[in-house]
Amino acid sequence: MTATPGRVVWFTGLSGAGKSTLASALYERLSAQGERVELLDGDAVRENLSRGLGFSKADRDTNVRRIAFVAGLLARHGVTVLVSAISPYRGTRDEVLAGLPNPVEVFVDAPLSVVTDRDVKGLYLKALAGEIEHFTGVSDPYEAPLAPDLHLRTDRKTVEVCLTELLEHLGVRDVANA
Amino acid sequence: MTATPGRVVWFTGLSGAGKSTLASALYERLSAQGERVELLDGDAVRENLSRGLGFSKADRDTNVRRIAFVAGLLARHGVTVLVSAISPYRGTRDEVLAGLPNPVEVFVDAPLSVVTDRDVKGLYLKALAGEIEHFTGVSDPYEAPLAPDLHLRTDRKTVEVCLTELLEHLGVRDVANA
């Protein structure tokens, strides 16, 4: 066990809101500055830890708890862990964040109309056409954080501005823009 | 990502052979010496990452791959990871170990007659009575390593002797007995 605990930065929000984009940008910046950092992306983790789970509330919660379990292991060994996962249920999010060292909840927020317009993966069109069940924001709920540590409106701010806010919140000196 | 990769010490063997006992003893010793070390116990990991999986070959393999995924994440951040898991299938074990940084395969070996006699958890009696399906060594195969990095016969050596061999193999100075 390391003497200096890490932290977990948890990006939550709708599909297409920009979670992975921001988490990746933060990962690159922190890595470049020599920080021990790991990115746990919801989709990748699902592939490695939760294949076979679906998108019911119970299955989504199980997936979120598994991500949190792994994030906690890494953070307790001094790693800064960036989690990018829709994690739509407030109660489950609150519960797992409370069990993690130095948790930072980041609400990556863009209105449904905007993410539907973006439709990065072409999924909203299918979901709105009823071709995908349990699609967060369309046929499944998204419970927004009531008091996130950081609330980033990605329809109003650029990635670079959001990243600067993230770095400031984390107390990381922004070397690139110093 | 850390500059000094960790390693994964993988304890495989029958239930009751002494995997967890040795892994715990090693964990205590390495922790006391200030090493960053994590113990992933098969049963605990199953609870956190694989609830719902059974004991078919496919499910056991999935469980082993999940443990390896987590072990790899930790090891790549400089942690010494001790895995204690029956992991009965040679092919799967070989495959996951090949993907891990600095893997050490430890075959914790005691004959079936000995572990059946010990029957620490009272499971062999039930398995032999046909009350448990898919019980490794009784109604499910255990494929022993052909060339483990370390082969510890726990029916012939004490825990302390096995631990000394482990520390020697890992190149750890045995402070307690120096």
Q: What is the mean pLDDT of chain A?
A: 93
Write the DSSP symbol of residue B151: E
How far is CA B35 from its chain centroid? 19
What does the alpha-carbon distance between residue B50 and residue A51 come to, in Å, rounded to a whole number?
A: 10
Q: List pLDDT tens digits, range B36-93.
A: 999 999 888 888 998 889 999 999 999 999 999 999 999 999 999 999 999 999 999 9
Q: Could you tell me the two tokens for B16?
A: 């009751």
Q: What is the CA radius of gyration of chain A?
A: 16
**What does the alpha-carbon distance between residue A8 and residue A2 come to, in Å, rounded to a whole number?**
15
**Binary contact (A74, B74; C-beta < 8 A):** yes
Q: Which residues of B touch A79 (CB under 8 A)?
A: 77
Question: How would residue A107 be classed by pLDDT, with cut points 50, 70 and 90?
Answer: very high
pLDDT at B25: 97
SS3 (DSSP) at A40:
strand
Report how far residue A79's alpha carbon sits from residue A70's, in angstroms, rounded to the nearest whole number. Answer: 11
Q: Where do the H-state alpha helices sit in chain B?
A: 19-32, 42-49, 57-75, 90-98, 112-118, 123-128, 159-170
- Rounded CA-CA distance B36/B105 in Å is 19
User: B2 pLDDT band (50/70/90 cuts)?
Assistant: very low
User: What is the least distance, in Å, from the CA of A69 to any CA of chain B?
Assistant: 7
pLDDT category of residue A52 using cuts at 50, 70 and 90: confident
Does position A92 have pLDDT exceeding 90, yes or no? yes
pLDDT at B11: 98
Percent of chain B with pLDDT over 90: 84
* Residue B140 backbone phi and psi in degrees, to 5: -140, 150
- Mean pLDDT for B88-105 is 98
Nearest CA in chain B to A37: B1
Q: Which of A37, A70, A77 sits opposite B79 (nearest CB)?
A: A77
C-alpha to C-alpha distances, B35 to B12, B79, B84, B102, nearest whole angstrom: 22, 8, 18, 16
With contact defined as beta carbons under 8 Å apart, do B12 and B108 qualify?
yes
Which of B37, B79, B83, B100 is the best mutation test for A, with the most CBs of A within 10 A? B79
Give the mean model confidence (pLDDT) for residues B157-177: 88
- A175: pLDDT confidence band, cut at 50, 70 and 90? low
Q: Are A138 and A88 in contact (CB under 8 A)?
A: no
**DSSP secondary structure letter of residue B177:** G
Using an 8 Å Cβ cutoff, are A81 and A75 in contact? yes
pLDDT of residue A2: 44
Distance CA A138, CA A119 (A): 13
* pLDDT greater than 60 at residue A166: yes
Question: What is the band of A5 on the pLDDT scale with cuts at 50, 70, 90?
Answer: confident
From the candidates A20, A50, A84, A87, which is the catalytic residue?
A87
Confidence of residue A143 (pLDDT cuts 50, 70, 90): very high
Sign of the Cα torsion A144, A145, A147, A149 reads: negative
- Give the rounded percent of residues in chain A with a pLDDT score beyond 70: 96
List own/partner pairs for B97-101 with CB under 8 A and 24 or more apart. B97/B8, B97/B10, B97/B68, B99/B68, B99/B72, B100/B8, B100/B10, B100/B68, B100/B71, B100/B72, B100/B75, B101/B5, B101/B6, B101/B7, B101/B8, B101/B72, B101/B75, B101/B76
Asked if B74's CB is within 8 angstroms of A66's CB, the reply is: no
Nearest neighbour of A79 by CB, restricted to B37, B49, B77: B77
The pLDDT score that the predictor gives to residue A177 is 56
- B20, B50, B84, B87: which one is catalytic? B87
- Which pTM was predicted? 0.92
Q: At what angle do helices A57-75 and A42-49 cross, to 10 degrees?
A: 100
pLDDT tens per residue across span B10-26? 999 999 999 999 999 99
Please say if the pLDDT value at position A134 is more than 60: yes
Q: How many other C-beta atoms lie within 10 A of the C-beta of residue B15?
A: 23
Contact check, Cβ <8 Å, B49/A62: no
Average the pLDDT over A95-106 and give the result.
98
Quick check: is B50 catalytic? no
